Amino acid sequence: MVHPIEQRPGAQQWVPERGGLRALRTAVADCRGCELWQDATQAVFSEGRSDARMMLVGEQPGDREDIAGEPFIGPAGRRLDDALEAAGLDRNRLYLTNAVKHFRFERRGPRRIHDKPAVGHIDACRPWLAAEIAAVAPEVIVAMGTTAARSVLGRNVRIGEARGTVLESSDASATPTVVTAHPSSLLRIPDHAARETAFRAFVDDLRLAAEVTAE
């Protein structure tokens, strides 16, 4: 599944200038900003409140999300739910989205295996996230994983170096941003003790973001 980079004009021409989240959610289905739409089932936009004080940004939809058209409903989503509960946060009061709106995968027989988005995909899809940030105007953004961090901050960061600090998004709003691991990474840690330590660190990052909204 190789497509030339020339097919990544960027999403800006498909992003409506007005109409809020409803217009964005409708328009994203027609996006041809990169080639990922050709193989994905559908664009997966977001879930959550338009007046949410906290926005959580992940990498891209997975297999389950691609089929259902909803973000964070697979194994990583369930782990996220566990962390939100531990941090005392109500998912229904948050806004959840992804940096890339289409599922990038490698087909192995009947299975579709997650394939990390390339920088070109992140940059091509960035206008959607910028429009979401402008429409929701969250008080804090949680960037989960390196893909989300690059999209929100406009540059590459190391999760370990950025954790525990409050940065600023690269858009005009300069929204306070907390960088953390992606919940899917917690599922790939084989050792139980290390997995629990990583989970607690993830919860601590969510609590740090919550403190920003409480200020």
Looking at the DSSP assignment, which residues form a beta bridge with residue 106?
A: 113
131, part of any domain: yes
Which CATH number characterizes residue 163's domain?
A: 3.40.470.10
53, part of any domain: yes
Per-residue pLDDT tens digits for 117-129: 999 999 999 999 9
208 Cβ contact list (under 8 Å, min separation 6): 164, 166, 178
166 alpha-carbon distance from chain centroid: 18
2, part of any domain: no
Per-residue pLDDT tens digits for 12-47: 999 999 999 999 999 999 999 999 999 999 999 999
**What is the domain extent for residue 26?**
8-214
1, part of any domain: no
Residue (of 178, 182, 117) closest to 152 by Cα position: 178
For the residues 67-94, what does the mean pLDDT come to? 97
Residue 137, phi-psi category: left (phi > 0), alpha (psi -120 to 50), beta (remainder): left
Model pLDDT, residue 8: 77
Q: How many structural domains compose the chain?
A: 1
Model pLDDT, residue 58: 98
Q: To which H or E segment does residue 80 belong?
A: helix 75-87
76, part of any domain: yes
For the residues 135-153, what does the mean pLDDT come to? 97
CB atoms within 10 A of CB 190: 6
Q: To which H or E segment does residue 96 belong?
A: strand 95-98
66, part of any domain: yes
Q: Is the pLDDT of residue 1 over 60?
A: no
Looking at the DSSP assignment, which residues form a beta bridge with residue 58?
A: 98
35, part of any domain: yes
The residue type found at 57 is V
The first and second tokens of residue 208, run together, are 């740090």
3, part of any domain: no
